[in-house]
Amino acid sequence: MKVIVIGAGASGVTAAINYKRHHKSDDVLIIEHLDKPLKKILATGNGKCNLGNSNIDFSRYNDPLFAKEVITGYDYKKFFDSISIQTKLIDNLAYPVSESAVSVRDALLHECDKLGIKINVEENFSDYEITSNIKVLTSKNTYICDKLILSGGLCSSPKLGSDGSVISVLKKHGYKIVDCKPGLSPLHTVEKTKAIDGIRCKANVKVFANNKLIHEELGEVLFKDHGLSGIVIFNVMSVIARNQDLKHKIVLDLLPDFDVSYLENYRSSHSFNEFMQAFINPKISAYLKDRFNTENAIFNALKALEFTFDKSYGFDFSQVSVGGVENSEITTHMMSKREKNVYIIGELLNIDGPCGGYNLTWAFASALKVN
């Protein structure tokens, strides 16, 4: 049999390896439109490659039940050990011992080479046709195959190859698609934040949609020139992206380790300037004093500093796309319910999770379901 995989990202390469291991006599070809495979994986985990999580909370995926069905049974240690990558945990986050995404890329490509998997680069996938077999059309050739595995990114991080072209093809084939929006990215706020650009602080973050609490998370917030960033804000952006038509407020508790009564007691025995000096970064203190008119308003803002969501930073700054092919279109073995011997994996599907190895876990686990 001949098998073609579209997209030489984490899920595409992993699917090719897994399939070839189970069907040694079959020909497997990966087609990639960039000049090199696995470019996007080099950016994960700030170059250290956060390839998984030992404590996956399925409720943090947008489709928990489907994610659980696909991921349950996936053993990241077993897979990476099979390609000679040893892993370690840092606060439940799995990394290669080398702490190098280059090591992971090289190991995956070495395994492809060892198994005889061919990778064609700088070749654009344009369409496919289903007859008695599958005709795959590209910018350079027309191929005939027995199975087609569609991978590739959606629209996030276009410089690393995700241009949404595969999802456009699937739309032409009648698949139900949830429109893609940028997730895991900084966000712009209506309120100006330039005065505190670059300042970081631990905060409890609440998100309200039309005044209803829809998300709460503790983490580090990074103030930017035009809004908010940091891992907790990246996760917030994914939540907002799913309901972007609603009016969103982001409320920061800048002092999550202190309750209001403790702060009130401290304030009562000190001048207000002494109180602010004791608890708040000087630049944030100056920002609050400039933004609010009274000491009481400033004090209240310490536990509930409100920002109005304006817009995301866009796909260029996004780590994952929210949206994709509706999960009802495929089986839990990633095979299309519409077209025989067509498989859809990885980011192309409407599954996304927070920072912390969730999205690479999905990429690898969904790829390993194809056999």
Amino acid residing at 334: M
User: Per residue in 276-317, pLDDT tens?
Assistant: 999 999 999 999 999 999 999 999 999 999 999 999 999 999
Q: How far is 326 from 66, CA to CA, in rounded Å?
A: 11
When pLDDT is cut at 50, 70 and 90, the band that residue 7 belongs to is very high
Residue 330: exposure state from Cβ atoms within 10 A (0-12, 13-18, ≥19): buried
- Which of 256, 248, 240 minimizes the C-alpha distance to 304? 256
- 56 DSSP 8-state letter: -
Does pLDDT of 44 surpass 90?
A: no
- Which of 97, 101, 87 minimizes the C-alpha distance to 54? 87
Supply φ then ψ for residue 336, to 5 degrees.
Answer: -60, 140
Q: What percent of the chain has pLDDT over 70?
A: 100
- The pLDDT of residue 112: 98
Does pLDDT of 211 surpass 90?
A: yes
User: Per residue in 57-66, pLDDT tens?
Assistant: 999 999 999 9
- The pLDDT of residue 164: 87
Q: How far is 284 from 10, CA to CA, in rounded Å?
A: 41
What average pLDDT is seen over the chain? 96
Quick one: average pLDDT of 67-71? Answer: 97
Q: Read off the pTM.
A: 0.94
- The pLDDT of residue 244: 84
When pLDDT is cut at 50, 70 and 90, the band that residue 163 belongs to is confident
Total residues found in the chain within this entry:
371
User: Per residue in 248-275, pLDDT tens?
Assistant: 999 999 999 999 999 999 999 999 999 9
Supply φ then ψ for residue 186, to 5 degrees.
Answer: -65, 170
Angle at 345 between CA 344 and CA 349, to 5 degrees: 85
Task: Give the DSSP H/E element, type plus range, for residue 71.
Answer: helix 64-71
Q: How far is 260 from 262, CA to CA, in rounded Å?
A: 5
- Which of 341, 11, 344 minimizes the C-alpha distance to 175? 344
- The pLDDT of residue 118: 98
When pLDDT is cut at 50, 70 and 90, the band that residue 86 belongs to is very high
CB 361 within 8 A of CB 94: no
Does pLDDT of 243 surpass 90?
A: no
- The pLDDT of residue 153: 82
When pLDDT is cut at 50, 70 and 90, the band that residue 245 belongs to is confident
When pLDDT is cut at 50, 70 and 90, the band that residue 371 belongs to is confident
When pLDDT is cut at 50, 70 and 90, the band that residue 48 belongs to is very high
- 330 DSSP 8-state letter: B
